[in-house]
């Protein structure tokens, strides 16, 4: 009887430790893709410190992306090199933003073929060279983007 009880406790402990100890990284695959993409196209790695990547490929609403970039420009008073905008498209406002955020132009359009689930404007949050969160902003989500970007700036100032 004692043996069965100890055996049951052991089985439960193994199951619990398996369930909570082997938690897969939600963005593990996308982290590998982003690392490879940055390395292959820009000879860079995902930043170690907290960093924000804004991604926009060729299959977007270009006017919407320009609006998102205008929001960034209006909210940034000074340089914030913890933000990188990666795009395959030329936007008029990017030159104005070049002193405020990092800009990377994908001239080969490789971003169009990466399996990163991009949708109009994608914001990827990274830390310790890993993706920790991700948000997609659609055509009509300028207000959501503005609120999210304000949070980023608040976190960056602390």
User: Does residue 24 surpass a pLDDT of 70?
Assistant: no
Is 103 inside a domain boundary? Answer: yes
* Burial degree of 141 (CB within 10 A; 0-12, 13-18, 19+): middle
Is 20 inside a domain boundary? Answer: no
The model's pLDDT over 52-72, given as tens digits with 9 standing for 90+, comes to 999 999 999 899 999 999 999
Kindly state the DSSP code that residue 130 receives in the 8-state scheme: E
Average of per-residue pLDDT values in the chain: 87
The model's pLDDT over 66-93, given as tens digits with 9 standing for 90+, comes to 999 999 999 988 888 899 999 999 988 8
Domain around 97: 26-157
Is 137 inside a domain boundary? Answer: yes
Query: What domain count does the chain have?
Result: 1
Is 3 inside a domain boundary? Answer: no
The pLDDT value given to residue 22: 55
The pLDDT value given to residue 153: 85
User: Does residue 129 surpass a pLDDT of 60?
Assistant: yes
Q: What percent of the chain has pLDDT over 70?
A: 84
Rounded distance, CA 98 to CA 106, Å? 15
The pLDDT value given to residue 21: 56
The model's pLDDT over 131-141, given as tens digits with 9 standing for 90+, comes to 999 999 988 88
Q: How many CA atoms lie within 13 A of 137 on its CB side?
A: 24
User: Does residue 19 surpass a pLDDT of 60?
Assistant: no
Is 15 inside a domain boundary? Answer: no
Enter the pTM of the model. 0.82
């Amino acid at each position: 009887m004692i043996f069965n009880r100890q055996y049951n406790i052991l089985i439960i402990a193994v199951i619990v430790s398996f369930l909570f100890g082997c938690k897969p990284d939600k963005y593990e695959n996308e982290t590998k893709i982003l690392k490879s993409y940055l390395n292959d196209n820009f000879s860079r790695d995902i930043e170690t410190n907290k960093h924000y990547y804004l991604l926009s490929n060729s299959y977007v609403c270009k006017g919407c992306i320009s609006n998102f970039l205008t929001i960034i420009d209006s909210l940034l008073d000074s340089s914030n090199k913890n933000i990188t905008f990666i795009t395959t498209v030329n936007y008029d406002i990017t030159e104005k933003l070049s002193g405020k955020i990092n800009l990377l132009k994908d001239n080969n359009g490789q971003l169009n073929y990466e399996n990163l689930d991009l949708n109009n404007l994608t914001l990827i949050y990274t830390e310790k060279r890993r993706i920790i969160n991700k948000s997609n902003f659609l055509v009509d989500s300028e207000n959501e983007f503005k609120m999210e970007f304000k949070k980023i700036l608040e976190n960056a100032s602390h």
